[in-house]
Amino acid sequence: MKLNKILVFTAFIAFTVGCKNEPKVQDQIDQKEAEITEEKFEYVVEQFADLKILRYQIPGWDNLTLKEQKLVYYLTQAGLSGRDIMWDQNYRHNLTLRKALEKIYTTYDGNKTSKDWKAFEIYLKRVWFSNGIHHHYSNDKIKPEFDQDYFSSLLAATGTEVSKEVYEVIFNEADAKKVNQAKGVDNVALSAVNFYGPGVTNDDVESFYGKMKSPNPEKPLSFGLNSQLVKEEGKLKERVYKSGGLYGTAIDEIIKWLEKAKTVAENKAQGDAIGLLIEYYKTGDLQTWDDYNVAWTAATEGNIDYINSFIEVYNDPLGYRGSYETIVQIKDFDMSKKMSVLSENAQWFEDESPLMDEHKKKNVVGVSYKVVAVAGEAGDASPSTPIGVNLPNANWIRAAVGSKSVSLGNIIGAYNNAGGSGRLKEFVHDNEEFELEEKYGQLGDKLHTALHEVVGHASGQLNPGVGETKETLKNYASTMEEGRADLVGLYYLMDPKLQELGLVEDWEKTGKAAYDGYIRNGLLTQLIRLNLGDDVEEAHMRNRQWVSAWAFEQGAKDNVIEKVTRDGKTYYDIKDYQKLREIFGRLLRETQRIKSEGDYKAAEALVEGYGVKVDQDIHAEILKRNEQFTSAPYSGFVNPVLLPQKDDTDEITGFEIFQPKTFEEQMLWYSKNYNFLPEVN
């Protein structure tokens, strides 16, 4: 499970535990030097359309041994080798379109100052950012601001050829939605995502996997995770992602680099896990995938860790198939030590939660939490990246072995250094709310991320005999799980236990700031990401709205949250934070019941009733109020480039780190050097 960044203009700061003693003089000098370094680093690369491109640094790199640096390098190369898999998974024509667009961009020698050419450049950059022609967040097909005649002239001028279908799909209404989560439609048939072949329907998918039985029902396999489901001569068939199978040429490159990584593993447990991942890529065997996840979860020692493979299922309308993703991580020892208190007290949080007793875990095991510095990302994690991740996703592994939770510290730091507070002033209800956010909101957001990942995703259990959530809650599974984890965090953000554990100096003010920010975002500010008239589609946006809207409705009788209209502007003012906490607790209890019992009808009622439709008057107002701000609502990153230095025997002796100067520089470099798939797969 991953936690998306809530809003670009939500600021984050590095987490520090409150201390009564003044820091030593040398500590103050070191801190000042660090601040100066941060100020000199240029975080913002550029901005276009609704997107901002940022850079991030890799703190801790120089403290690694050469062997550890090699491990990071090999893992990043493995990740980048599979980059094109994500493009093809997102849409069947993406690779063809990207290559055509890039050929035009690099060979066109006509007028590059015209309005049409600028529109073409922006369109290409938007496609790069989204790993395809559908918006990374809304899932809508990206509409070019140039017409067909101009595109035809570019094709002719550069000798670029594309098929009639590929040409027309840029401009027509076909395949308009990458992932269609609408109620009452055939979600698979109406989704452009390339997880399913032509003619495959919801009923086909449910029937196909409904017949599959795991050898051990207590340890259900993740059927469908690493394959494409197609119809051949009317019969359903899986095309498995593996060496020699679908995406095999790219997977062979991934294996090559993973084998190098295994030779420099930090310890046996880490090396054994990498070995199982290699075996999984070679065979596509889902039992090997589970074996790997068990080994990977248990391999907690060392400075380096990674995420690599077909993992998150948000892009599948029915939640079966994993998108290719990789994140390479360097442990932040100081920050991880401070935050490990959450992992150490995971059982307390579970025991004290408002869940029904039968839905609580009696023994929360193996919840490891680390703050890490990202060293490289690819696939579903790049350019748009999460800020926190909790894996593995299999419920039985979480219950039996545990999970790993990470917070991407340098990514959060980059967001903080590139952000601003203008929008905050526009949407807070009053000065008190603004001051709480300024002083405590950043820490509240940091803690919510940690609680969401460490405690939230690890909490609760399914009732005996109830199937996996993707089978029972279907198209609502992702948003229900993210909302459930959010609610765990919200419930404990107003608990004095956080202060007792040394995580905050003032639990009440931190909690108030966090509650203000969540309700403000869920009911108002996240709407700047939608076009007027759109429904809420993305799983995280849906969960923030249904949590906030349900809480607002439930508290109406006691005026827990007051809707305020002032000078034609709408605000939400929390009047009773403790009652709101009780409401969050009730909703958490119900959300866990829905998951534990597999109650599809209740999930549908909650999400459709509170999380999908938008008040159009408020939406129009929010968009109007937002016009004064120039900062884009979405951000993503270019990755630092690790360049190995070699001696006369071709042995790596060290590394240089380079920051890309421009977004297009990195995208074209990636297309040239990590191009391991044909246009049609």
Which spans in 473-506 are helix H?
477-493, 497-500
Q: What's the pLDDT at 19?
A: 32
- Report the pLDDT averaged over residues 277-291: 98
Are 398 and 458 in contact by the 8 Å Cβ rule? The answer is yes
Long-range contacts of 541-544 (CB under 8 A, 24+ apart): 541/137, 542/479, 542/483, 542/607, 542/611, 542/612, 543/479, 543/480, 543/482, 543/483, 543/486, 543/611, 544/6, 544/483, 544/486, 544/518
Q: Tell me 464's DSSP state.
A: T
Q: What's the pLDDT at 4?
A: 59
- Report the pLDDT averaged over residues 495-509: 95
Work out the pLDDT band at 24, boundaries 50, 70, 90: very low
Question: Of the given ranges (34-48, 464-478, 491-505), which has the lowest mean pLDDT?
Answer: 34-48
Q: What's the pLDDT at 542?
A: 96
Spatial separation of the C-alpha atoms in residues 292 and 653, rounded to whole Å? 31
- Report the pLDDT averaged over residues 284-302: 97
Has residue 286 got a pLDDT over 90?
Answer: yes
Has residue 261 got a pLDDT over 50?
Answer: yes
Angle between helices 507-523 and 477-493 (to 10 degrees): 150
Element (H or E) spanning 203, and its range? Answer: helix 202-210
Where in the chain are the domains? 2-17+46-59+332-636, 640-673
Give the strand order in the sheet containing 324-331: 2-3, 388-391, 403-408, 367-379, 324-331, 304-310
Spatial separation of the C-alpha atoms in residues 136 and 141, rounded to whole Å? 10
Q: What's the pLDDT at 10?
A: 32
Report the DSSP beta bridge partners of residue 408.
Answer: 372
**CA nearest 192: which of 286, 317, 27, 337?**
317
Give the whole-number percent of the chain exceeding pLDDT 70: 94
Give the whole-number percent of the chain exceeding pLDDT 90: 83
Q: What's the pLDDT at 66?
A: 98
- Measured from the Cβ of residue 434, the count of other Cβ atoms closer than 10 Å reads 17
Has residue 601 got a pLDDT over 80?
Answer: yes
Instruction: Identify the three-state secondary structure at position 390.
Output: strand
pLDDT digits (tens, 9 = 90+) for 353-388: 999 999 999 988 877 888 899 999 999 999 999 988
Q: What's the pLDDT at 2?
A: 65
Q: What's the pLDDT at 446?
A: 84
Residue indicated by tokens 């201390």:
19
Has residue 610 got a pLDDT over 50?
Answer: yes
Instruction: Identify the three-state secondary structure at position 573.
Output: strand
- Report the pLDDT averaged over residues 156-175: 97
Instruction: Identify the three-state secondary structure at position 589.
Output: helix
Q: Are strands 634-637 and 51-54 parallel, antiparallel or unpaired?
A: parallel
**CA nearest 309: which of 294, 324, 296, 320?**
324
pLDDT digits (tens, 9 = 90+) for 315-336: 999 999 999 999 999 998 777 7
Take residue 661 and report the two structure tokens written for it: 């100067």
Question: Of the given ranges (205-209, 241-245, 337-341, 416-420), which has the lowest mean pLDDT?
Answer: 416-420
What's the chain's average pLDDT? Answer: 92
Work out the pLDDT band at 420, boundaries 50, 70, 90: low
Report the DSSP beta bridge partners of residue 53.
Answer: 46, 636
